[in-house]
Amino acid sequence: NLYEAKVSDFVAGRTAHFELEEEDGLWEPYADIQAAVDTIGGASAAEYVGTLGEVFDLERLLRLWAIELVTTNEDGYVMNANNYLAYHGQERWTLVPWGSDQGFRWYRDITDLSPIRGELTARCEGVPECHGRLETAILDLVADWEQGDFAAMVSAEAAVIQGDCEADPRAPLPCDTASMLQFVKDRPATIRQELGAP
């Protein structure tokens, strides 16, 4: 089953806005969401990481959260429980981001948990094992960011889109590729500093 999530989450009381997009007959629509909610909700702190790993592809989930936190995407799962698809395949669930148009725009201390509205992430931050694994995923992403020379990639793309963006009367956001590029250049160092990592 594939669902579109509109400010929806895998916790009791926040499932009403999952919208079924496709089904293939493997799982009863919406009953599979409720089963996941019940399983996660019944896990103790000590069981939380293991339970997340049973319900979700855990490494992908942590990587998604890391990407949203590092890029400060304020309208994705982590900060708004929004703009993602939830796919229930053969066994586990996978969250797939979409509409990621709110990132690379503002600096936020990676240790500031106040904007987090994705309740699975918020609970993770309160469980030392889960918090540690998320922090590792963040630092792994930062290393990939630098080793893949993400700043050079963004610079090349900015040169292509800047003129078109300025000419587009429908552009919903300012065409400020310079500050976005500066964000991309600075972000790895600021994150390491905030996490106290070498």
Q: Is 85 left (phi over 0), alpha (psi -120 to 50) or beta?
A: beta
* Rounded distance between C-alpha atoms, residue 87 and residue 89, angstroms: 6
What is the reported pLDDT for 172? 73
Decide if pLDDT at 145 tops 90.
Answer: yes
In this predicted structure, what is the pLDDT of residue 14?
A: 95
| DSSP H stretches of helix in the chain | 31-41, 48-55, 58-71, 77-80, 119-125, 128-147, 150-167, 177-195
pLDDT category, 7, cuts 50, 70, 90? very high
pLDDT at 178: 85
User: Residue 78: pLDDT above 90?
Assistant: yes
Q: What pLDDT does residue 19 have? A: 97
Query: Sorting pLDDT into bands at 50, 70 and 90, what band is 198?
Result: confident
d(CA 28, CA 128): 34
Q: What pLDDT score was predicted for residue 165? A: 84
Please say if the pLDDT value at position 46 is more than 90. Answer: yes
| Whether residue 130 has pLDDT greater than 90 | yes
pLDDT digits (tens, 9 = 90+) for 169-179: 887 777 788 88
User: Could you tell me the pTM of the whole model?
Assistant: 0.91
Indicate the pLDDT class of residue 94, thresholds 50, 70 and 90: very high
53 pLDDT tier (thresholds 50, 70, 90): very high
Collapsed DSSP state (helix, strand, coil) of residue 156: helix
Per-residue confidence band for 126, with pLDDT thresholds at 50, 70 and 90: very high
Parallel/antiparallel/unpaired status of strands 18-22 and 84-88: unpaired
* Residues with Cβ within 8 Å of residue 102, at least 6 apart in sequence: 73, 74, 75, 76
Contact in structure between 121 and 77 (CB atoms under 8 Å) = yes
The mean pLDDT value for 141-167 works out to 91
Closest CA to 139 of 103, 181, 188: 188
User: What does the pLDDT read at residue 171?
Assistant: 75
For residue 67, CA distances in Å to 9, 46, 140, 151 come to 18, 25, 10, 15
Rounded to whole angstroms, what are the CA distances from 130 to 50, 95, 100, 172? 10, 17, 24, 36
Q: Hey, what are 10's tokens?
A: 């895998």
pLDDT for 55: 98
